[in-house]
Amino acid sequence: MTSPSIKIVLITGTATGVGFTTALTFAGVPGKKYKVYATMRNMKTRKDELESAAGSMLNDTLFIRELDVGDEKSRVECVESILKEEKRIDILINNAAIVHGGLFEQIDLGKDGPKHFQINYFGPLRLMQLVIPSMKERKSGRILNISTIGTLLPCPFTDLYLHPKWALEGATECVAVTLRPFNVWASVVQLGAVMTQRAVQVQAASDQYKDAFLKPPNIKNETDQEIFAKHTKNSMSLFTHETCQTPEEVAKFLITVTEEEKPVLYYQSSEFARKLAAAKLVDPTGEKGAQLYEAGVLSIA
Residues 70 and 97 sit within 8 Å (Cβ to Cβ)? no
Between 74 and 183, whose beta carbon lies closer to ligand NAP? 74
Shortest distance (Å) from residue 12 CB to ligand NAP: 6
Cβ-based nearer residue to ligand NAP, 6 or 98: 98
Integer CA distances (angstroms), 106 to 114, 119, 144, 214, 256, in order: 15, 21, 32, 17, 41
Asked whether position 276 contacts ligand NAP by CB under 6 A, the answer is no
CB of 60 to ligand NAP, least distance (A): 22
In angstroms, the first-to-last Cα distance of the chain is 47
46 binds ligand NAP (CB under 6 A): yes
Nearest Cα to Cα of residue 135 among 83, 200, 201, 188: 83
Q: Is 16 in the site for ligand NAP (CB under 6 A)?
A: yes
The reply on whether position 198 binds ligand NAP by CB under 6 A is yes
Looking at the DSSP assignment, which residues form a beta bridge with residue 190? 147, 268
CA–CA separation, 109 and 115 (whole Å): 9
The letter for the amino acid at 158 is T
**Is residue 243 close enough to count as binding ligand NAP by CB under 6 A?**
no
Residue 243 and residue 192: Cα distance in Å, rounded? 8
- How many Å apart are CA 145 and CA 121, to the nearest integer? 10
Please report how close the Cβ of residue 145 comes to ligand NAP at its closest, in angstroms: 9
User: Does 100 engage in binding with ligand NAP (CB under 6 A)?
Assistant: no
User: Contact between 162 and ligand NAP (CB under 6 A)?
Assistant: no
Question: Residue 17 or residue 216: which is nearer to ligand NAP going by CB?
Answer: 17
Stretch that binds ligand NAP, among 67-75, 79-87, 225-233, 275-283 (CB under 6 A): 67-75
- Kindly tell me which residue out of 9, 34, 36, 95 binds ligand NAP, with binding defined by CB under 6 A: 95
Q: By Cβ distance, which residue is nearest to ligand NAP?
A: 17
Going by C-alpha positions, the residue among 199, 106, 201 that lies closest to residue 160 is 106
Which amino acid, one-letter code, is at 1?
Answer: M
Of 17, 156, 216, 263, which lies in the binding site for ligand NAP, with binding defined by CB under 6 A? 17
Identify the CA nearest to 132 among candidates 88, 165, 84.
Answer: 88
Q: Restricting to residues 118-157, which ones interact with ligand NAP according to CB under 6 A?
A: 119, 146, 148
61 scored as a contact of ligand NAP (CB under 6 A): no
The sheet with strand 62-66 has its strands ordered as 62-66, 34-40, 7-11, 91-94, 141-148, 184-191, 266-268
179 binds ligand NAP (CB under 6 A): no
Binding interface with ligand NAP (CB under 6 A):
12-13, 15-19, 40-42, 46, 67-70, 95-98, 119, 146, 148, 191, 193-194, 196, 198-199
